[in-house]
Structure 1
Amino acid sequence: MALPAVKIGVIGGSGLYQMPALTDVQEYTISTPFGNPSDALLVGQLAGVPVAFLARHGRHHHLLPTELPARANIYALKTLGVQYIISVSAVGSLQAEVKPLDLVVVDQFIDRTRNRISTFFGEGIVAHITFEQPVCPALAQVVIDAIRELNLPDVTLHPRGTYVCMEGPAFSTRAESELYRSWGATVIGMTNLPEAKLAREAEIAYATLALATDYDCWHPEHASVSVDMVVNNLRKNVTNAQAVIQTAVAKIAAHPPQSKAHRALKNAIMTPLDKVPPATLEKLRPILAPYL
């Protein structure tokens, strides 16, 4: 089956395993040089716009954060021609002003992972992407505008914030949570930073919509985070998240954001391409195509 051409991808995190508003859905199982993605990619129409949806942990949530095939996920979206990714993620709040059920459009990350591969490069080719702004500001602004336009009841928008990406799967200790708070971090999760790095290497604009579900374990007046707490709040948040995505997708289609991410490799590749092993060039062809 020939693959469709899709410019917008959505990665759904915990609780967001499908998009009911997605119509005319076709499933595509895409194998990559980095293994299989988390699940089949669901390609359909959202607000009349072609969209590819991927459940980050699989539709039955069978993948630990450490087990996520992030390279395969981003590579598969790239092979469809995706230029924009909206990543939806459940997070714990590290600050009192970010309440459970609030929405945070993240603009910075801190990496606390230990067991993740978050680059496509190696095996004879070296590249160093610029990552000062780890999400695309233009795409993030589209998500912010979508939330403001919807004026969702009982939802507070935080238009910026720093996301600590921890290894997991256990939640934080109290000492860790207090440390991250002392750094000024806003929220904590287990998945988005490897995605952001790989999306930048793949020259895809990337933005995170973070759904606050709990206060991690630092808040003296709230119970420590548990799966039940996360799931209950996620159910309340998912409806809002889907409305935001649908509005944002329509905005992207109407006025595609100009993103520096789309030329992220222009000055990043250190190795002369004629010195790169042919097998490596072939493996990375969807990513390196503009420069071959």
Structure 2
Amino acid sequence: MQGRFGIIGGSGLYDIPGLKDAAWTQVDSPWGAPSDAVLTGTLNGVPLAFLPRHGRGHVHSPTTVPYRANIDAMKRLGVTHLVSISACGSFREDMAPGDFVVVDQFIDRTFAREKSFFGTGCVAHVSVAHPVCPDLSAACVSAARAAGIRVHDGGTYLAMEGPQFSTRAESLMYRSWGCDVIGMTNMPEAKLAREAELHYASVAMITDYDSWHPDHDAVDVADVIRTLQGNGTKARDMVMALAAMLPKACASDCDQALAHAIMTSPDRRDPALVAKLGAVAGRVLNPKDTA
């Protein structure tokens, strides 16, 4: 792997054993302030950057997480391989609390978030038919197994707006759609990571059965927190194993996602927006600057 290994996750990862030269680094982004400073260092010889998605102390709701600033900040720090680690509910009996799921598909039901770096003045359309990097996802599965974690290889993640949990009717509907897990934070994060040409993988840590399960007809926050704390220890073990397993190359060309995506003619592009896109899309918008 060339570049830096990035993680966007929660409080269970603030303390990463074995992280050398650890320091919190403030990153300025034209998309606003990221959720927090970024914890940088070296893990098993691999440069690493960790960003707490909700900020230390959990100050951002799923809706107010500054997703664009977060992805832009990671790109500015040289991150090439980004792993999302987040809590989720399960729609399947065999995907139990405490299990991990390496997600490979999403259904986006969020509605109050900015979902693209592009827009009026510089329009782009990227494919998210296959929204995660298969090579990085496979490495996550291997690392989880090496850490002794019960992990499921593949699953569809229903992204809801929140911050409330599902009604039982909603939970049953999402389950009937064939969704496997439900969470509030992987969208638009995954879409933005694709626009930024990052190798992206999502690891969902199951905390509950949402509200469809006859024995768990309401999500109890206290139970969720207890399971989440245990999952945090597992996540740290997985990250330590993953640092030695990161793929050297990508068969899916995630880092070429913008190759044919930008539609606006060069002479009609908004200079101000192009400047904001410097870190995310400089490879295609300003090839001379990134050569």
TM-score, shorter chain, exceeding 0.5: yes
Match of 1:208, SS state, is strand
Which position in structure 1 is the counterpart of 2:188? Answer: 194
CA contact (8 A) 1:205 1:259 kept: no
Gaps of 5+ in 1: none
Q: Number of residue pairs matched?
A: 284
Moved segments of 4+, more than 6 Å: none
Which letter maps to 1:164? Answer: L
Which position in structure 2 is the counterpart of 1:61? Answer: 58
CA distance in 2, matches of 1:62, 1:256: 36
CA distance in 2, matches of 1:137, 1:56: 23
Match of 1:138 among 135, 140, 151: 135
Match of 2:16 among 16, 19, 30: 19
Correspondence 1:199-210 to 2 at 5 A:
199-210=193-204
Match of 2:276 among 249, 265, 283: 283
Q: Percent identity?
A: 50
The answer as to 2:259 corresponding to 1:266 is: yes
Gaps of 5+ in 2: 287-291
The answer as to 2:103 corresponding to 1:118 is: no
**RMSD between aligned alpha carbons?**
1.6
Tell me how far 1:251 sits from its aligned partner: 1.3
Which letter maps to 2:245? Answer: K
CA contact (8 A) 1:79 1:286 kept: yes
Match of 1:98 among 95, 99, 102: 95
What's the TM-score, normalizing by structure 2? 0.93
Match of 1:83, SS state, is strand
CA distance in 1, matches of 2:204, 2:16: 17
Which letter maps to 1:119? Answer: S
Match of 2:75 among 73, 78, 83: 78
The answer as to 2:167 corresponding to 1:170 is: no
CA contact (8 A) 1:42 1:54 kept: yes
Which position in structure 1 is the counterpart of 2:289? Answer: none
Match of 2:164, SS state, is coil
CA distance in 2, matches of 1:282, 1:18: 35
Match of 2:86, SS state, is strand
Which position in structure 2 is the counterpart of 1:232? Answer: 226
Match of 2:205 among 206, 211, 214: 211
The answer as to 2:124 corresponding to 1:127 is: yes
Deviation per CA, 1:24-51, whole angstroms, max 9, x where unpaired?
A: 1122111211110000011011122110
Which letter maps to 1:134? Answer: P
Match of 1:51, SS state, is strand
Q: Which is worse superposed, 120-129 or 274-283?
A: 274-283
CA contact (8 A) 2:168 2:217 kept: no
Tell me how far 1:270 sits from its aligned partner: 0.6
Match of 1:78, SS state, is helix
